[in-house]
Amino acid sequence: MRKKVTVVGAGNVGANTAQKIAAKELADVVLVDVVEGVPQGKGLDMLESAPVEGYDVRITGANGYDETAGSDIVVITAGFPRKPGMSRDDLLLANYEVVKSATEQAVKQSPNAILILVTNPLDAMCWTALKVSGFPRERVIGMAGVLDTARFRTFIAEELGVSFENVTAMVLGGHGDTMVPLVRFTNVSGIPLSELTDQATIDRMVQRTRDGGAEIVKYLKTGSAYYAPAASTVEMVESILKDKKKVLPCAVYLQGEYGFNELFVGVPVKLGSKGVEKIYEIKLDEGEKAALKKSADAVEELVSVLKKQAK
Ligand code: APR
C-alpha cells in the first residue's frame, strides 16, 4: 500500500515540500490550508505535472482534515513567515495558535502518524505539538538542523570550490541566532575543516550560517526561505518512509540527554520508520557545551512564554 503524507500549510514551504515528495514518489500527499481553494488548486496543478514528470502518486488539497485520515507523516508548515527586521521568535504567539489547532485536528485523524514541525519559532512549535498531541517524543520531530547544516555545507563548498556532496557538517542547538555550528565535527571527505582553511574564514562561515535565514529574508522582503527548508524536510520524510536510518540533526525532546530536560534542542538522531530511533550524545568540549547551553536557554525562554499562554 502507498504511504500517505499530509502537509499542513499550502504556502511556500508546504507547497514545495508536497511537490518534492511527489516528484520522488515517496507517498500520496494531502495538502491542507485554511484558505479556500489554495490547497485544492496547488494540489491539482501538481497532479497535472505527473504525466510530464512521470510520477504515480495522488496529490489532493483540502480545507479540513477528513481527507488526511491515516497519514503516516504529518508535516506542519502552517503559520506566518517572518519579514525583514523580524526574528523567528517574533512569530511565537501567532504561530502557537496555528500549530495548536493544526496539531489537534491532524492527530485526531492520524493517531499513529509521525509529526514533523517546520513552523517557526521551531523549537517552541515542537513543544506545542508534543503537548497538544500527547504523542511519544519519538514521533514529534523538528526540521531545523538539516537546513542549518545544509547552509553551512553550502558556504564551505563555495568557499573551498569543492563538491557540496563531499561536505559533512554538524549544527546543534535551537533554530535561531544562538545555533551551534560544530566546526570540530565538520569535514570535507573526512578532512577536518580546520586543515583546509584559516580560523577567520571559518568564523565568517559560522556567522553566515547563523544568519542564513535572515540573509534570505532580507532579499525576499515579503517572506522567508522555502526551497532549502522544503528539501530538508523531504530528506527527513524520506529517511522515515524508507526506513533509511539516516543520522541527521533534528530538534527532539531531550529528557536528560546533553544535560537538558523536557526541552526541544537540535541534536544528531537516527531517523527511521519509528521516527527518532536513537539520540546520539556526543562528547562536547567546554566551549561547545557553553554554546549549546546558551542556545537551549533561548529555547527555554520562549517555551516559558507558551506555558503561561497555555494556562
Ligand atoms: N491551518 C492551515 N494552514 C494555515 C493556518 C491554519 N490554521 N494558518 C495559516 N495557514 C497557512 C496560510 O494560509 C499559508 O498558506 O499557512 C501557509 C503559510 O505559507 P506562507 O505564508 O507562504 O509561509 P511559508 O514561507 O510557507 O512559511 C511557513 O514555515 O519556515 C517556516 O518561518 C516559516 O513559520 C513559517 C512557516
User: Per-residue pLDDT for the chain (311 aa), expressed as one digit of tens each?
Assistant: 899 999 999 999 999 999 999 999 999 999 999 999 999 999 999 999 999 999 999 999 999 999 999 999 999 999 988 888 888 888 899 999 999 999 999 999 999 999 999 999 999 999 999 999 999 999 999 999 999 999 999 999 999 999 999 999 999 999 888 999 999 999 999 999 999 999 999 999 999 999 999 999 999 999 999 999 999 999 999 999 999 999 999 999 999 999 999 999 999 999 999 999 999 999 999 999 999 999 999 999 999 999 887 77
Give Cα 21 distance to the centre of its chain. Answer: 15
Give the C-alpha separation, 215 to 194, whole Å.
25
- 77 Cα to the center of ligand 1, angstroms: 5
User: CA nearest 240: which of 269, 266, 268, 271?
Assistant: 271
- 308 Cα to the center of ligand 1, angstroms: 24
- 18 Cα to the center of ligand 1, angstroms: 13
- Global confidence as pTM: 0.97
Closest residue CA from atom 15 of ligand 1 = 11
Task: Give the binding-site residues of ligand 1, using a 6 Å CB cut-off.
Answer: 8-14, 32-35, 77-79, 81-82, 91, 95, 98, 101-102, 118-120, 223-224, 226, 229
> Which triple of cell numbers denotes residue 150?
545544509
Give the C-alpha separation, 25 to 223, whole Å.
29
8-state DSSP, 68: G
Give the C-alpha separation, 237 to 255, whole Å.
24
Residues of the chain with CATH 3.90.110.10: 145-310
Closest residue CA from atom 33 of ligand 1 = 81
- 144 Cα to the center of ligand 1, angstroms: 16
**CA distances (Å), 226 to each of 20, 118, 216, 248, in order?**
12, 11, 9, 19
Give the pLDDT confidence score for residue 84 in this predicted structure: 85
Active-site residue flag, 31: no
User: What homologous superfamily is domain 4-142 in, according to CATH?
Assistant: NAD(P)-binding Rossmann-like Domain (3.40.50.720)
Query: Helices in the chain by DSSP H: which ranges?
Result: 12-23, 38-47, 50-53, 92-109, 122-133, 145-160, 199-210, 212-220, 227-241, 286-310
In CATH terms, 145-310 corresponds, of 3.40.640.10, 3.90.110.10, 3.90.550.10, 3.30.470.20, to 3.90.110.10
Residues of the chain with CATH 3.40.50.720: 4-142
Give the pLDDT confidence score for residue 233 in this predicted structure: 98
Q: Which atom of ligand 1 is nearest to the CA of 88?
A: 32
Read off φ and ψ for residue 44, nearest 5 degrees.
-65, -40
Give the pLDDT confidence score for residue 206 in this predicted structure: 96
